[in-house]
Chain A
Amino acid sequence: MFKTLYKKELLENVQNYRFLLALVICLVVIPLGFVVSQKDYADRRQVYDDAVRADAELRKTVQDFLQNGGLALRPPAVLGLLSAGVETVLPNAVETRGFVTQEGTQIQFNNSRRLDNPFTSLFGRLDLAFITTTVLAVLVMIFAFNAVIGEKERRTLAQVMANAVPRPVVIGAKMAAGSTLLGAAFLVGVLAGVLLTTALGIGPLAEAGTWAPFAIGIAASLVFLMTFFALGLFVSSFSRSSVSAMVALLSCWVALAMVLPKGSVILAKLVRPIKSQQVVELEKSQVRRQYQKDVDDAVEKLAAATPGVKDMSLQDYMKAMRAKAPAISGYAEAQADLRSQFAARLNADLEKIDAAFDEQRAGQAAAARSIARLSPVSCLVHVLTELAGTGFAEDAAWRETRSRYKRIVDRDIASKMDMTRFKNLSYGGAKIDRKAPAPKLPAGPVPLERRLEAAWPDLALLAIYGLLFFTAAYVRFLRYDVR
Chain B
Amino acid sequence: MIGAVARKEIVSNLLSYKFFIVLLLMVLLVATSLFIMHRDFAERTADYQIIRPEPGQPIAVVPPNPLSIFAKGLENAMTRSFEIGVIGVDVRAGQSSGNVIYSFFPTPDFLYVVRIVLSLVALLFGFDQISREREQGTLKLMLSGPVSRAKVLAGKWLGNFASLAVPFLLVTLLGTAVLLFDTNIRFSAGQLGRFALLLVLSLLYLAFFLSLGMLVSALTRRSATSVIVLLFVWALLVFVLPNIGTLVARQFVAVPSVQALNEKREQTWTREVLLGIAKGADVGEHWKTISRENDRMEEDFRLKFERLVRLARNINRLSPAASFLDAATEIAGTGIDEESRLKAEVVRYKNSIIDRLIADQLAGKRDAVYPSFQYRTRPLGEVFAAGALFNTAWLAVFNILAFALAYAGFARADVR
Contact = CB atoms under 8 A, between A and B. Distances in A.
B338 to A, nearest CB: 11
A51 B257 contact: no
A309 interface: no
B74 A121 contact: yes
B263 A54 contact: yes
Dominant SS among interface residues on chain B: helix
B267 interface: yes
Contacts of A259: 28-29, 32
A308 B21 CA distance: 87
B339 A115 contact: yes
B235 A368 contact: no
B18 interface: yes
A240 interface: yes
Contacts of A116: 257-258
Interface stretch (B104-112, B154-162, B190-198, B199-207): B104-112
Contacts of A33: 243
B72 to A, nearest CB: 9
B380 to A, nearest CB: 20
A138 B242 CA distance: 19
Residue from A21, A32, A86, A123 having most chain B Cβ neighbours under 10 A = A123
A92 B259 contact: yes
A50 B236 CA distance: 37
A123 B21 contact: no
Interface string A259-296: 10111111011000000111100100000000000000
Nearest to A392: B100
B103 interface: yes
Contact of B243 (A36, A43, A250, A269): A36
A80 to B, nearest CB: 12
A126 interface: yes
B36 A263 contact: yes
B90 interface: yes
Given A240-B17, A265-B98, A278-B97, A138 B231 contact: yes
Nearest to B227: A142
A276 B232 contact: no
A268 B101 CA distance: 11
Interface in A388-444: 391-392, 395
B39 to A, nearest CB: 6
Interface size class of A (residues with CB under 8 A): 35 or more
A298 to B, nearest CB: 24
B260 interface: yes
Contacts of B235: 25, 28-29, 135, 138-139
Contacts of B339: 115, 118
Contacts of A138: 120, 231, 234-235
B49 to A, nearest CB: 9
B174 interface: no
A248 B21 contact: yes
B307 interface: no
Interface string A11-22: 000001110010
Contact of A85 (B104, B225, B322): B104
B250 to A, nearest CB: 7
A127 to B, nearest CB: 11
A139 B231 contact: yes
B373 interface: no
Contact of B329 (A90, A122, A134, A268): A122
B245 A119 contact: yes
A112 B92 contact: yes
Interface string B236-279: 10011011111100100000011110110011001000100000
A329 interface: no
Contacts of A251: 21, 24-25, 28
Interface string A36-69: 1001000110011011001000100000000110
A365 B99 contact: yes
Contacts of A198: none
A24 interface: yes
B93 interface: yes
A247 B101 contact: no
A85 B103 contact: yes
B11 interface: no
A145 B401 CA distance: 30
A47 B228 CA distance: 43
Contacts of A250: 25, 117, 120-121, 124
Contacts of B50: 276, 278-279, 282
A68 B270 contact: yes
A39 B229 CA distance: 30
Given A115-B258, A126-B239, A381 B246 contact: no
B28 A243 contact: no
Contact of A115 (B43, B77, B244, B267): B77
B270 to A, nearest CB: 7
Contacts of A142: 227-228, 231
Interface of A: 16-18, 21, 24-25, 28-29, 32-33, 35-36, 39, 43-44, 47-48, 50-51, 54, 58, 67-68, 83-86, 88-90, 92, 111-124, 126, 129-131, 134-135, 138-139, 142, 145-146, 150, 240-244, 246-248, 250-251, 254-255, 258-259, 261-266, 268-269, 276-279, 282, 361, 364-365, 368-369, 372, 378, 381-382, 385, 391-392, 395
27 contacts: A16-B224, A17-B228, A18-B228, A21-B229, A28-B236, A29-B239, A32-B247, A86-B100, A112-B80, A115-B77, A115-B258, A118-B74, A118-B336, A122-B325, A138-B231, A139-B231, A242-B223, A244-B18, A251-B24, A258-B108, A259-B32, A261-B104, A262-B36, A266-B35, A364-B99, A368-B99, A392-B101
Given A243-B16, A247-B17, A391-B104, 9 more contacts: A25-B232, A115-B77, A124-B106, A138-B235, A142-B227, A240-B17, A243-B124, A243-B223, A244-B21
